[in-house]
Amino acid sequence: MNPLELLAIILLTPLASAAIICLFLRRGGYWASAVSVVAAAVIMVLSFVFLLKWDGQTITGSLTWLQLGQDYSFDLGFLFNHEAATMLAVVAFVGFWIHVFSVGYMDDDRDKGRFFGGLSIFMFSMLGIVLADNLFMVFVFWELVGFSSYMLIAHYWDKDFAAAASKKAFIVNRIGDFGFLVGIAWAYHYYGTADISAITAIIKADPSKTVTGIGLCLMCGFIGKSAQFPLQVWLTDAMAGPTPVSALIHAATMVAAGIYFMVRVFFLLTPFALEWILWSGAIMTVFAGFCALGQNDIKKTLAYSTLAHLGYMATAIGLGFPGLAIMHMAMHACFKATLFLCSGSVIHACHHEQDMFKMGGLWKKMPVTFVAFFVATLSISAVPFTAGYYSKDTIIAGAWGKFAAGHGDAYAWAFGLTMLGALLTALYMGRMLFVVFFGKPNSEKASHAHESSPWMSVPLVVLGWIMSLGAGWFVYHWGWADGVMNALVPADVAQFMIDGYSHAAGGWEAAHHLFEESGAHWVEYLSWGCIIGGFLFTFFFYGRGPAQDRLQVKAPGLYHVFERHGWFDDIYDFYVSHIQRRIADFMAFIDTAVIGGLVVRGSGAVAGLVGMVSRSLHVGSIHGYVYWFIAGVLLFGAFALGLLR
């Protein structure tokens, strides 16, 4: 089969699934889940068939979707290259296992049709972003993932918080899309095309054709979708959705779409734009890390952790290592999906209890979940030889390498911030681990918890025990299956993450090499020190399975600062309720009183006159209007005849 056709089938399978569910299985219960899971399985199998056969050459192809005039055409096309390969592998693989998990997690839910239909729409939209070959098409699927995110956050729509959170997620994303769309229009007119590879060719031929403004506008889309400063406010609220949604959309894939897009258009980012991304990413690793320490809700803690790790990916882009950013995205997808699924497993077992301090002592009751959570904790904290280590530690080391190579002080700051972020990761992860799984149960619900069904535990084994541990081993070049596979991933995909794409310095190897050159081995020791120190500190500070947060007791002021996460939400709420609302009300007043009342009706002499005349004619029946019409026609005739003469 022609590779483009295969990609088209991969893309359209979830759309077909969503359509079937929407039309026939709205109340279909398990049938709806079956259709959706089968679609996800088809996507995964076909994607890996495709990836294993792929020869590493870029595949493109498109057809026209809308054509108006000679120079405006809206194309639907595929651009399949190394970063698309990584992203496809992640979306297909993680997506499938989260679908499986959902079957177990949603078993007592009434609205399975809506939920699984939403998941299928999401898979469709996400695959569209992965494969899109031009900015217009990216925007189409960008909006669609936003919609599926909205729909799934609002799953428990009878709850006020879910209604508010879904609305907020969509609107905040639209704020990002505002800049994004302006950037697309600008780029389209500046380069004369929206095709990504065509723009790449233009810039390769003449590097001076990069425009900082275009890069910054496109970056707005990334800021919204990946919840970076100052639009990070929607992501923690988005945890109102069911936990598999948080795992798939708000941790592993959709929020990483912003990173993926920035990597795709990396060539048009100017040094200024890169430095902006660097700072915003590095600061986010620290800011979100602190906020995570002030949350009692298990999912919100993980949400802040996601923000911090998106910050790491942004930092990698800012450092000029797009390949490394994609690699961290892939590793993060494995361990963060695991962490969310574990939290889902725990929440399900504790009958929808989300407060960590009402859990405790779960490791004996839920051993599979515990092991998966433990491995993922090691991985996210970048303990050597786990998946997270290869990407996260390299980002930190790469920042130092850049500084040591004399690229500027900003890199030293980035290094310091990301290193602090690593310490914070160990702190909040250690806190979660000890509070949730150790000690004794702190509530009735937790004491009756038991291990989840195989629907939920098998994905935990695959994503947690295996992938969170070994997803990064390909850097050792362990080839098998005639060299098609490298450790756990297809070799071509791995190659991209090792090399980066054709840039002199793009990926893991480049960053690693830069760091080796600096010879600063103390950096390694420091990061190990941070991990060990972080775990030891939390073990002794929080204790095993406490019923309340010791920090909250000892230093309520500090805890409050973490809990309110910089008062961003309060600022936004104030803006919406006090500023926007009042401006809108004022405008409405002007509209009714001034435009409707005075200007047009009052001073508009003609209108007033006509109004008086028509009022005299207006007798509340058809006649008045008919006279009017006849008068109009007569006037017309008189004009025409009079002018004829």
Partner 1 sequence: MTDFNSLLLILAIVIPLAAAVALLFGQKLCPCAAKFIAGIGFLAPAAIALWLWGNFGEAAKTAGYAYMSQYDLGMKDTLGISLYLGLNGISAPLFLLAGIVGLAAGWQAINAKAERLPQYLLLLLIMQAGLMGVFASIDIFFFYFFHELALIPTFIMIGIWGGAGRRSAAMEMTVYLTLGAMLSLLGLIYIYKASDWTGFDLIALREYVSAHSIADAVQHNIFGLLLFGFGILVSLFPFHSWAPRGYAAAPTANAMLHAGVLKKFGLYGLVQIAVPLLPVGALEWNPLLIWLALGNILFIGLVTIAQRDLKLMVGYSSVMHMGYIFLGIATLSVAGVGGAVILMFAHGLSVALMFVLSTAVYARTGTYDMRDMGGLGMKAPLLAGFFVAATMASVGLPGFANFWGEFTIFMALWKDHAWAVAPAVLGIIISAIYGLRAAAAIFMGAPSEAFQKASAGKAIGDITRAERIPAIILIIGLVLVGFWPHSISTSINEELMGDSVYQPKVLSTVQTPAAATPAAGHAHEESAS
Which residues in 597-616 contact partner 1 (CB under 8 A)? 599-601, 606-607, 610-611, 614-615
Query: Contacting partner 1 (CB under 8 A), which of 58, 67, 453, 577?
Result: 67
Q: Is the CB of 103 or the CB of 162 nearer to partner 1?
A: 162
Q: Which stretch binds partner 1 (CB under 8 A): 197-205, 355-363, 366-374, 457-465?
A: 197-205
SS percent in the chain: helix, strand, coil, step 5? 75, 5, 20
Q: Which stretch binds partner 1 (CB under 8 A): 155-163, 231-239, 253-261, 399-407?
A: 155-163
Strand order in the sheet with 479-480: 479-480, 485-486, 489-490
Angstrom distance (rounded) from CA 263 to CA 328: 12
By the rule CB under 8 A, 194 interacts with partner 1: yes
Q: Least separation, in Å, of the C-beta of 263 and partner 1?
A: 21
Burial class of residue 544 (count of CB atoms within 10 Å of its CB; 0-12, 13-18, 19+) = middle
Q: Is the CB of 547 or the CB of 626 nearer to partner 1?
A: 626
By the rule CB under 8 A, 182 interacts with partner 1: yes
Q: Least separation, in Å, of the C-beta of 26 and partner 1?
A: 8
Angstrom distance (rounded) from CA 436 to CA 342: 11
By the rule CB under 8 A, 199 interacts with partner 1: yes
Query: Contacting partner 1 (CB under 8 A), which of 3, 28, 167, 465?
Result: 167
By the rule CB under 8 A, 24 interacts with partner 1: no
Q: Is the CB of 450 or the CB of 645 nearer to partner 1?
A: 645
Query: From the CB of residue 487, how many other CB atoms can be counted at a distance below 10 Å?
Result: 17
Q: Is the CB of 444 or the CB of 591 nearer to partner 1?
A: 591
Angstrom distance (rounded) from CA 618 to CA 39: 64
Q: Is the CB of 147 or the CB of 465 nearer to partner 1?
A: 147
Q: Is the CB of 9 or the CB of 466 nearer to partner 1?
A: 9
Total chain residues near partner 1 (CB under 8 A): 92
Query: Contacting partner 1 (CB under 8 A), which of 24, 30, 65, 567?
Result: 65
Q: Which stretch binds partner 1 (CB under 8 A): 233-241, 324-332, 505-513, 621-629?
A: 621-629
By the rule CB under 8 A, 63 interacts with partner 1: no
Angstrom distance (rounded) from CA 600 to CA 466: 72
Query: Contacting partner 1 (CB under 8 A), which of 70, 208, 603, 616?
Result: 70
Q: Least separation, in Å, of the C-beta of 106 and partner 1?
A: 17
Nearest to 19 by CA among 118, 150, 92, 97: 118
Structure tokens at 210: 């990069």
Q: Which stretch binds partner 1 (CB under 8 A): 163-171, 460-468, 528-536, 556-564?
A: 163-171
SS3 state of residue 113: helix
Q: Is the CB of 204 or the CB of 554 nearer to partner 1?
A: 204
DSSP for 333-382 reads HHHHHHHHHHHHHHHHHTTS--BGGG---HHHH-HHHHHHHHHHHHHHTT
Q: Interaction with partner 1 in 113-152: which residues (CB under 8 A)?
A: 136, 139-141, 143-144, 147, 150-151
Nearest to 278 by CA among 314, 313, 306, 310: 314
Q: Is the CB of 364 or the CB of 581 nearer to partner 1?
A: 581
By the rule CB under 8 A, 158 interacts with partner 1: yes
Q: Least separation, in Å, of the C-beta of 645 and partner 1?
A: 11
Q: Interaction with partner 1 in 561-600: which residues (CB under 8 A)?
A: 580-581, 583-585, 587-588, 591, 595-596, 599-600
Q: Interaction with partner 1 in 331-350: which residues (CB under 8 A)?
A: none
By the rule CB under 8 A, 620 interacts with partner 1: yes
By the rule CB under 8 A, 186 interacts with partner 1: yes
**In 57-211, beta strands by DSSP E:** 59-68, 72-80
Structure tokens at 4: 């483009």
Q: Interaction with partner 1 in 71-110: which residues (CB under 8 A)?
A: 71-75
Q: Interaction with partner 1 in 361-400: which residues (CB under 8 A)?
A: none
By the rule CB under 8 A, 628 interacts with partner 1: yes
Please give the radius of gyration of the chain, using alpha carbons only, rounded to the nearest integer: 28
C-alpha angle 255/257/263, rounded to 5°? 130
Angstrom distance (rounded) from CA 383 to CA 347: 27
- Yes or no: say if 487 and 494 are a contact pair by the CB < 8 Å rule: yes
Which residues are 490's β-sheet partners? 485
**CA distances (Å), 243 to each of 35, 213, 298, in order?**
20, 38, 11
Q: Least separation, in Å, of the C-beta of 364 and partner 1?
A: 39
- Yes or no: say if 269 and 275 are a contact pair by the CB < 8 Å rule: no
By the rule CB under 8 A, 622 interacts with partner 1: yes
